[in-house]
Amino acid sequence: MITRSTIQSFLSIFLTIHPHETITVFYSTSSFFFVLSAYFVVLPLRDEGAISLGIENIPGLFLGSLLLTLVAAPLSTLLFSLPFLPKPKALVLIYRFFSASLVLFFVLWVLSSPENTFPDFRSTIKEDLKVEMQPDSKHSADWGKHSWFFISVRIGFFLWVALLNLITISSTWARVADVMDNESGSRLFGFIGAGATFGQLFGSLFATGMAWLGPYLLLFASLMMEFAAQSSKRINKDVPDPSEELIPLRKSEVDQKNETNEGDISDRKDFSATAPSSTVDSTKPRFWALLDGFWLIWSSNYLLCVSLFLWLSAVTSSFFYFQKVTVIASTATTPTGRRRLFAQINSFIAVFILAGQLTLTGRILTVAGITIALCSAPFTAFLNSIAIAVWPTYLAVAVSETIRKVVTYVVTRPGRELLFTVVSQDEKYKAKVCIDVLVQRFGDATAAGMYKLLHSTLDGKITHISLYALPVCILWLVTGFHLGRQQTQLAKSQILSVS
């Protein structure tokens, strides 16, 4: 049996960690590992399904993701605001909901495949091989080649996977940020993020080797989501050895043990003097809780700035995604080949991200500070746009994508999560989910519209399209610099108020 001391000894190899943080860090990391494993197992299947509907239709799928998110995000915030539902249980429910949905999509995908009847495993493989042997259809927009059931399932799956990614990751980060402060987050977020990257690597490698399984990958992903649900139960559950005195992660954790699990407002006393405070009354009707996240964002200049930063990040990221998909669609000519190529690229990126998170993230955040962390991704994206404009080849796109994601997840993403360590608990659970989910989707939709317009206007010339991303990168860089200075001031104010 693995003991707490064994876990601490292992974790201390990679980071500076205190005994009372061991259990929380271990299970936070494992939760992210399982969530990202599930996501990257099904991601190549999603992207190949989108290509089969026509590359020119992918921007429309991003618009559909926005509409679905407008409905789902308020429900997610409502779930975290229910007074009778503890937040750890709410996170478990979210995981299990998406786990069950993956099983449902497996059934729909198999039934929608041509000449395929559930649950004949061999017929699925044979049908995929049959497509492999056919000449490349160039993935035109002629949806008449497919049945309405085929089209509906692929569209629905694309939208659902995007929703799964945003809601599960945002909700998990909200839970992790709630049990840590600015100091512990600077030390530990890098390692916790490495768990997500290791999940990406594992899921991508599994999808690479098992690309021929097609929709049966969904069952494996569903199992990973259930494992994530089990791990999340132990986040913030600290069980020390009998000889060791329990030291809570934060003072508010002690306060919450003496109250019911309704404590949405219990942390206000820790942050009211230094961060945007919540004006939400937990006793009011639950209908109004749907608007809490929007109101908290609107009433805080800090959160509005955070929203702008993440919107610009999403626009840039989606812009690069469309370029990657266009190149891969013209490089590989078979469905399994495309699934394997997507998975291989994800695996390659994950190796570098994982190495950086285990060795650099904590040191960068501690030494360089959050401002440099936030500015790193937009600066890299700016250079990548120039590189692709000068050298518009598959190799340039692949290298640029790798560098951009490594910088984003090794440096900027952990710094981004530190932004929420200086806000109230209401803002972490309600405003954060709205920012992470809705703002992300608005950014995706904006990039989709921009890319579709530029692609048709400029005849698909990647050289010219990339140049239009430069102003976005500059604005993103300026916003990151301003936001980093704001967060630093709020963090210092918290320290002074506590002392």
Kindly give the confidence (pLDDT) of every residue in the chain, 499 residues in length, as a single tens digit, with 9 standing for 90 and above.
Answer: 456 667 666 676 666 677 777 787 888 888 999 999 999 999 888 888 888 787 777 778 877 877 877 777 667 767 766 777 787 888 899 999 999 999 999 999 888 876 554 444 444 444 444 444 444 444 444 455 667 888 889 899 998 988 888 788 878 887 887 777 667 766 777 778 778 878 888 998 898 888 788 888 999 999 999 999 998 887 864 544 444 444 444 433 333 333 333 333 233 233 223 333 333 343 343 334 446 777 888 888 999 999 999 999 988 988 888 877 777 777 776 777 777 778 877 887 878 877 776 677 667 777 778 899 999 999 999 998 888 888 877 777 778 888 888 888 888 887 887 888 888 877 776 777 677 667 877 888 888 888 778 777 766 566 677 788 899 999 999 999 999 999 888 888 877 776 6
Q: Is residue 365 part of a domain?
A: yes
Nearest to 315 by CA among 433, 482, 432, 469: 469
Report helix angle 217-232 to 148-178, nearest 10.
20
* Tokens representing residue 210 in the block: 């098992």
Cα–Cα dist 355/176, whole Å: 22
Instruction: Give a yes or no: residue 276 inside a domain.
Output: no
Q: Which tokens hold the place of 176? A: 């992790």
Q: Distance between CA 206 and CA 35 in Å, rounded?
A: 14
Q: What is the pLDDT of residue 383?
A: 92
Report the pLDDT value the prediction gives residue 337, as an integer from 0 to 100: 76
Looking from the CA of 376 toward its CB, the CA atoms found within 13 Å total 24
Contact of 379 with 167, CB cutoff 8 Å: no
Give the pLDDT score at 323.
78
Q: Which domain holds residue 430?
A: 21-235+288-498
Pairs from 305-308 (Cβ < 8 Å, separation ≥ 24): 305/479, 305/482, 305/483, 305/486, 306/419, 306/435, 306/483, 307/435, 307/439, 308/479
Residue 5 in domain: no
Per-residue model confidence (pLDDT) at position 157: 92
Q: Is residue 410 part of a domain?
A: yes
Q: What pLDDT sits at residue 2?
A: 58
In a domain, 308, yes or no: yes
Q: Round to whole Å and give the CA distance between 10 and 25.
A: 12
User: Does 268 reside within a domain?
Assistant: no
Q: Which of 194, 155, 153, 167 is nearest to 39 (CA)?
A: 167
Q: How far apart are alpha carbons 403 and 320 in whole angstroms?
A: 12
Residue 56 maps to which CATH number?
1.20.1250.20
Distances (CA, A) of 112 to 99, 168, 217, 462: 20, 27, 16, 35
181: left (phi over 0), alpha (psi -120 to 50) or beta: beta
**What's the pLDDT at 58?**
79
Q: For the chain, give percent helix, strand, coil, nearest 5.
A: 80, 0, 20
Rounded Cα distance, 194 and 410, in Å: 8
- How confident is the model at residue 181, as a pLDDT? 67
Q: What is the pLDDT at residue 236?
A: 64
* Domain count across the chain: 1
Q: What is the pLDDT of residues 253-277, one digit of tens each?
A: 333 333 333 333 233 233 223 333 3
> Considering the domain boundaries, does residue 272 fall inside one?
no
Q: Please answer whether residues 289 and 77 qualify as being in contact, where contact means their C-beta atoms are separated by less than 8 angstroms.
A: yes
Q: Is position 279 within any domain?
A: no
Question: What pLDDT does residue 356 have?
Answer: 77
Check: CB of residue 346 under 8 Å from CB of residue 40. yes
Residue 298 CB partners (closer than 8 Å, separation 6+): 304
